[in-house]
Amino acid sequence: MKLSNFLQAAAIFHKDFLVGLRRRAAFAAMAMFSLTAIASMSLSVGGILIEPKLLAALLWVVIFFAAGAGISGTFEDEAAAGTLATLKLYAAPQAVLFGKMAFTLASLLALTIFLLPVFLILFDAAVAQIFLLLATILLGLTGIAAAGTLTAALTVSASTKGGLFPILLFPVTLPIFLPAISLTEAALTGAEFAPEFLLAMIFYDAILTVASSILYDFLD
């Protein structure tokens, strides 16, 4: 992006951040869903030892649905106030997209910082390779933010976006979850991991970001 677009994106990020601090509804929805899901799953297993692969899958299921609870409203404030067209008029489309995407990623990172310790404590899980886990989570959240921001833009005018959003988001992000679950399992157990999984996540994140950038230009 050009510098002017970068500054516009930073301004949009700052606006969404201030709005998020005042309202906190999206983050509260994500956090409460995460707590409820994790607590319910922990109580249902009743202290039974769970296989690391299943634990990894459960973690990413919680992240996905918690993210869906918050990301779907990325453009909701502007759409409700009727200022979305004005925003696109005064800011470049790429600036709008990347500003929203950066705020979405920041929200997901804050959510994960909140839920990950709770998840590990309630399931009595240890992390053998912390840096691998952090890298996997960062790459996974980046892909979810890229795909989720574009999906939110696509469904902002839909009357049934609450059900439509996860249906559209899941198949796009599925290629992220498959290597993420394998890498998370390796991070929990300390087993050897396939570096190509990390490369695949980096590559797919880049594809999602570029595709979102191109497709967003064609949205009204």
User: pLDDT per residue over 174-210, tens digit each?
Assistant: 999 999 999 999 999 998 888 999 999 999 999 999 9
Residues in contact with 155: Cβ distance below 8 Å, sequence separation at least 6, in sequence order: 72, 161, 164, 165, 168
CA 120 to CA 188: how far, in whole Å? 10
pLDDT of residue 41: 82
Residues 205/143, Cβ–Cβ less than 8 Å: yes
pLDDT of residue 1: 47
SS3 217: coil
Choose among 89, 79, 109, 102: nearest CA to 1. Answer: 102
- Residue 65, Cβ neighbours under 10 Å: how many? 15
pLDDT of residue 124: 85
Domain that holds residue 155: 3-216
Domain count, the chain: 1
Choose among 171, 197, 152, 183: nearest CA to 55. Answer: 183
Residue 160 has pLDDT above 60, yes or no: no
Report the range out of 72-76, 155-159, 193-197 with the highest average pLDDT: 193-197
pTM higher than 0.75 for the full model?
A: yes
pLDDT of residue 2: 47
Residue-by-residue DSSP string for 49-116: ---HHHHHHHHHHHHHHHHHHHHTTTTHHHHHHT-HHHHHHHS-HHHHHHHHHHHHHHHHHHHHHHHH
Q: How confident is the model at residue 159 (pLDDT cuts 50, 70, 90)?
A: low
> Phi then psi for 185, rounded to 5 degrees?
-60, -45
